Amino acid sequence: MADILFDVLTWLPGLVLAITLHEAAHGYVANWKGDPTARLMGRLSLNPLRHVEPFGTLILPGLLFLASAPFLFGWARPVPIDPRNLKAPRRDMAWIALAGPGMNVFLAVASAAALHLALFLPDEALRWIGTALQRSVLINCVLAVFNMIPLPPLDGGRLLVGVLPLRAARAVARLEPIGLPLILGVLFLLPLGLHLVGISADPFSLLISPLIRALVGAVYLTAGLPLSL
């Protein structure tokens, strides 16, 4: 029971902040670019409670954790954005999309940097806070990399729509209704189905994990810390 409590309290804060502040960043950049929709609806806030979606932010990650899933997945309430208020909708939507993963990278670096201070804590406090900060680094790096997969509705896909020539951008944008099911199917459901018939395949480990490890390494390097703590 103590181990479960330790894991919950060292995973949950980083996960909730990573998911909710990711959404808040979209709202702040949208407001900067001329769309006040999030501000007028009370969603322009760094308060995580304004962005929590009970199932996606708390229940689903909790169930995956209790099931000892190899990954945690979740989402917050999407920040409302009206592209009609933007001066250059395609370009500005690209900046808005980039803001979410950018926030996750910032949070990862801030968590790694905070480890410098955590090292001065008593041993038991260091065990709790140091673990929470290290897990925050990992969570934010996972979310940053996952969200930059270049398929809408993920941020990488919306960034791609904003920078491609118009004809190509429209073709990518048409993938939005199937983008997320396609990604989840290829990365998670396909390996499970292949495993049932005796075939070992893990696209997540092959394609995504190396990028996550590279980003984690870059974050610790930026914070002036060794990768292995």
Rounded Cα–Cα distance for residues 97 and 51 (Å): 17
The C-alpha torsion from 66 through 72 and 78 to 83, rounded to 10°, is: -170
* 47 Ramachandran zone, left/alpha/beta (phi>0; psi -120 to 50): beta
Rounded Cα–Cα distance for residues 132 and 72 (Å): 15
Distances 171 to 157, 159, 225 between C-alpha atoms, Å: 11, 14, 43
Distances 68 to 119, 139, 189, 196 between C-alpha atoms, Å: 29, 16, 16, 19
* Annotated catalytic residue within 23, 53, 124, 176: 23
DSSP 77: P
| Known catalytic residue at 53 | no
Q: How many helices (H) and strands (E) does the chain have?
A: 11, 0
Rounded Cα–Cα distance for residues 86 and 31 (Å): 9
Catalytic machinery residues: 23
